[in-house]
Amino acid sequence: MPRRARTDYPGAIHHVMNRGIDHQAVFLTDGDRLDFGRQMAAVHERFEVDFLAYCLMGNHYHLLVRSNAGRLSEAMRHLSTTYVRHLNDRVGRDGPLFRGRYRSKIVASDAYLSWVTRYIHRNPLPIVDGEPLDRYRWSSYPAYLGRRPRPLFLDPEPVLTMFHHDAVEFEEFTTGDTVEISDWRLDDLRDVVDLAIVEDERAFDAEAHHGQLARTIVTLVADLLPLPAFDPAGCAVAAGTSRSAWERAVRRATSRASDPEVIRIVARVLAHLDAGGQMGSGTFWRSAGSALRPAGQKVPDPI
């Protein structure tokens, strides 16, 4: 099957991610992370890309990239091949390091831009052992707060502008247990669903049915969220269809709710949207669990 062409255009902002083959580490030492940063600086100069946020973990990375000249593919190919060659030469290995091509998602709204920046900066939470998140060196978060020098390739202005360049406000947004989604559109929810599918181990390579799976998850989650923007009438307008057609789509999606893949990814999406239980005392999760257990299955804990 031919690969799908990537969407890119001058000024496009992309959430780019990749991880190691079979969960293997892609950064073996801090020196490797420094070299990856040097390659980020190189592609910033050569291909006119800016990095709006980044986080380098052990076996994966997340980058928020603005493609000023519409050359994202060239930039990422150069970044990946150069970095992998350097690492292979250093440790005496050969062959690929990453699990296929990088994944990328266009960031099309300010609401999703702020959310995905928060998501990227919160990636180290499981490994910081209670330490402040800004202590994690291999992320743009400390530079956002003015606690580390800002690399030349990093441009936090598009995000910080939304927080009036107030570091305290941005820090509270990033580290707080909840994030406001009451003004989200259906497209913003689709973006989170796409991310959750990419994150999911078993759905990662399932491009053939990604679209159908994403539509099912979006429909289920929109139907569960107690937000005015996601009532049946609002969803119908956002989806460009009639209310009756939307309600039929909800029934079709609910018929798939016992599918373990659907349960797993819905749980992941709800965890992303409801960190800290912002819907109130577990009521939201109980209602979600009821809707997702038509066959008596248990909704898994969010990952």
pLDDT score recorded for residue 200: 81
Is residue 285 in some structural domain?
Answer: yes
Instruction: Indicate whether 83 and 204 sit together in one domain.
Output: no
Cβ distance 136 to 122 under 8 Å? no
Q: Same structural domain for residues 226 and 171?
A: no
In a domain, 5, yes or no: no
Written in H, E and C, the secondary structure of the chain is CCCCCCCCCCCEEEEEEEEEHHHCCCCCCHHHHHHHHHHHHHHHHHHCEEEEEEEECCCEEEEEEEECCCCHHHHHHHHHHHHHHHHHHHHCCCCCCECCCCEEEECCCHHHHHHHHHHHHCCCHHHCCCCCHHHCCCECHHHHCCCCCCCCCECCHHHHHHHCCCHHHHHHHHHCCCCCCCCCCHHHHHHHHHHHHHHCCCCCCCHHHHHHHHHHHHHHHHHHCCCHHHCHHHHHHHHCCCHHHHHHHHHHHHHCCCCHHHHHHHHHHHHHHCCCCCCCCCHHHHHHHHHCCCCCCCCCCCC
What are the pLDDT digits (tens) for 230-245? Answer: 889 999 999 999 999 9
300 part of a folded domain: no
Higher pLDDT, 281 or 190: 190
Asked if residue 290 has pLDDT above 60, the reply is no
Same domain, 53 and 168: yes
Give the model confidence (pLDDT) of 74-131 as tens digits. Answer: 999 999 999 999 999 999 999 999 998 999 999 999 999 999 999 999 999 999 988 9
Q: What is the pLDDT of residue 28?
A: 97
Of the candidates 105, 95, 25, the one whose C-alpha atom is nearest the C-alpha of residue 60 is: 25
Last residue of a domain, one of 116, 151, 175: 175
Residue that terminates a domain, selected from 146, 175, 204:
175
Shared domain check, 28 and 83: yes
pLDDT at 279 (0 to 100): 47
* Residue 56 C-alpha from the chain's centroid: 14
- Residues 59 and 127 both lie in one domain: yes
The domain tally of the chain equals 2
Q: Does 153 share its domain with 51?
A: yes
The percentage of the chain sitting over the pLDDT mark of 70, rounded to a whole number, equals 85
Q: pLDDT tens-digit profile of 178-222?
A: 778 888 889 999 999 999 988 886 655 555 568 889 999 999 999
Whether residue 101 sits in one domain with residue 199: no
